Amino acid sequence: MNYLTELDLSASETLEVLALARALKAARGAPRDDLRGKHVALYFEKPSVRTRVSFTLAVRELGGDVVELGGHNTKVGHGEDIEDFAKVLDGYVHALVARVFAQDSLTALARQFRGPVINALSDERHPCQALADVMTICERFDRTDGLKGIEIAFIGEGNNVATSLALLAARLGADVRVASPEGRGLPAWALEKGPAGSVTQFEQPELAAVGAHVLVTDTWVSMGREEDASALKASLSRYRIDEALIARSRPESIVLHCLPAVRGEEITPEIMYGPRSAIWQEAENRLHVQKALLQRLLAAHPTA
């Protein structure tokens, strides 16, 4: 089994991973050997801090070993086909974690690599981030059986982060509203994949925020979008989580951001560091959900 998208696990399987993540978090510090003798390759086409550190520690804290690969020490795309690269790795390591530009690259890797392939980010999806977001929401609202009745408002471009969170949260029963400028909303296929009526696209952030339990945002200019920075910032200038927007949500609402954040653009410092912020808990939870995911996928995979 691979984890190329947030929908690769059923709702019940996702809840099992989240329960395991909570158990691993509670027991962190106790020696574990779940991945003893297992080698995990981390292949990164994009720079990373949280993803690289959290996956590296996840493997090591479960007793496994990590091999780091990327543009600096491979010839993928510069003399070696990505499928050949995957076929070689298949003889060396037990799992492959890949942070890539194109979602198709993950599909190509999975065609030749027999062990689990995990999407650590692509331009289309960010399923591991969505898992951490959902874990944080469950912790803050004391949920173990899903997100039924939880209302989530994503404020900003309908990008990979918004897509994965919307689809995963909706699968677990949440109602998700994504507020984006015209032409920058969720892709049509994402709206079609969500359960009927559970994912809604808005243009007005003020309407999306009304009654929300959770407000979520992301940086206005993602990696690889620097050439479009001026246009992105202009179109997203209204899509900021600040005190006025928070006032439209529930009194107990929380704020999430996958980081890195540009304070004063998509979120104000007062909110980011204020009592509503669950951002640092969210960042830590990347480690715990990824440990649970690795353990679950490797245990279930006959060739790993």
pLDDT tens digit sequence for 278-294: 999 999 999 999 999 99
Given this model, what pLDDT does residue 102 score? 97
Task: Specify whether 126 is catalytic.
Answer: yes
Per-residue confidence (pLDDT) for residue 213, from 0 to 100? 98
For the segment 45-74, the average pLDDT, to the nearest whole number, is 95
Mean pLDDT of the chain: 95
Residue-level pLDDT at 79: 87
286 belongs to the catalytic site:
yes
Mean pLDDT for the stretch of residues 264-269: 97
- In this predicted structure, the answer to whether residue 301 has a pLDDT above a threshold of 80 is no
Strands 199-202 and 175-179: parallel
Which one is catalytic: 123, 133, 175, 218? 218
Q: Which of 22, 94, 99, 125 is catalytic?
A: 99
Judge whether 218 counts as a catalytic residue.
Answer: yes
List C-alpha distances in Å: 266 to 235, 240, 303: 12, 4, 44
Q: Nearest 5 degrees, angle CA 264-CA 266-CA 270?
A: 50
The answer to whether the beta carbons of residues 208 and 162 sit under 8 Å apart is no
pLDDT at residue 139 greater than cutoff 90: yes
**Helix/strand/coil (H, E, C) string of the chain?**
CCECCCCCCCHHHHHHHHHHHHHHHHCCCCCCCCCCCCEEEEEECCCCCHHHHHHHHHHHHCCCEEEEEECCCCCECCCECHHHHHHHHHCCCCEEEEECCCHHHHHHHHHHCCCCEEEEECCCCCHHHHHHHHHHHHHHCCCCCCCCCCEEEEECCCCHHHHHHHHHHHHCCCEEEEECCCCCCCCHHHHHHCCCCCEEEECCHHHHHCCCCEEEECCCCCCCCHHHHHHHHHHCCCCCECHHHHCCCCCCCEEEECCCCCECCCECHHHHCCCCECHHHHHHHHHHHHHHHHHHHHHHCCCC
Our answer to whether residue 129 is catalytic in this structure is yes
pLDDT of residue 224: 65
- Cα gap 95→4, rounded to integer Å: 13
* Topology of the domain comprising 11-126+286-300: Rossmann fold (3.40.50)
Domain 11-126+286-300 shares a fold with domain 127-283: yes
Residue 221 DSSP class: S
Tell me the pTM.
Answer: 0.96
Q: What is the CATH T-level fold of the domain 127-283, as seen in this structure?
A: Rossmann fold (3.40.50)
Domain boundaries, the chain: 11-126+286-300, 127-283
Q: Quick one: tokens of 177? A: 């509203």
138 is catalytic: no
Residue 304: predicted pLDDT: 56
11-26 helix and 127-140 helix, angle to the nearest 10 degrees: 70
88: CB partners within 8 A, 6+ apart: none
Supply the pLDDT for residue 302: 62
CA dihedral 263, 265, 269, 275 (to 10 degrees): -120
pLDDT value of position 78: 87
pLDDT of residue 262 exceeding 80, the answer is yes
pLDDT 10s digits, 28-42: 999 999 999 999 999
288 is catalytic: no
Kindly name the residue from 126, 171, 240, 288 that is annotated as catalytic.
Answer: 126
Q: How far apart are CA 215 and CA 247, in angstroms?
A: 11
